Amino acid sequence: MTVSWEELLASIASCERCRLGASRRNVVPGEGSVSAKLMLIGEGPGANEDEQGRPFVGAAGELLTRMIEAIGMRREDCYIANVVKCRPPRNRAPEADEAEACLPYLRAQVALVKPMVIVLLGATAVRHTLGEGFRVTRDRGRFTERAGVFMMPTFHPAALLRDESKKRPAWEDFKAVRDRLYLLSQSQSV
Ligand code: URA
């Protein structure tokens, strides 16, 4: 099913498909360029995001923004979204049925943006996009192509804040993303 951005954002704004709709302050649909070459997908809104209705605006978001800038891009040129659009209570991971109810929105966002590369930030994003067989620690840094889109698992920025030793590998992953975007842009322009 193809929907317009207006239809999609209106459905998300009024969504009551799962229990998270009852406890949210604001929906957090996602933000950024609708023609982004790079999309980044996290788990779900935390307290700051729920407050502001924007993804990745807390400490993890600041780190994410710095990583995007470190590969020579601007945050506003990317599209940033989450598996679930409403905050799970006490920042727990989304339950399987909550993610299931919300995933059609994420799929519609990917279909509208048509990114070249998607960075999957942490286990929840990896599990609900690539599938249960994937593990961040084992599969990070490697691209998996799905329908012409290159998907790269890496650590969630909140994990980098908890464990400094993850920063180096995550930086390597972001550099690989930068290089892949460069190659893909080159091959598109010939
Ligand atoms: N963590 C996420 O996974 N998403 C956000 O938007 C913020 C923190």
What is the overall mean pLDDT for the chain? 97
pTM over the 0.85 mark: yes
The best mutation among 20, 27, 28, 49 to test binding of ligand 1, ranked by most ligand atoms within 8 Å of the C-beta, falls on 49
Q: Whose CA is nearest to atom 7 of ligand 1?
A: 56
Cα 53 to ligand 1 centroid, rounded to whole Å: 11
pLDDT per residue as tens digits for the range 121-149 = 999 999 999 999 999 999 999 999 999 99
pLDDT per residue as tens digits for the range 71-124 = 999 999 999 999 999 999 999 999 999 999 999 999 999 999 999 999 999 999
| Cα end-to-end span (Å), the chain | 32
Q: What pLDDT, on the 0 to 100 scale, is given for residue 170?
A: 98
Taking residue 138's Cβ as centre, other Cβ atoms within 10 Å add up to: 9
CB-count exposure of residue 122 (10 Å: 0-12, 13-18, 19+): buried
Which architecture does CATH list for 5-188? 3-Layer(aba) Sandwich (3.40)
Q: Is the CB of 88 under 6 A from ligand 1?
A: no
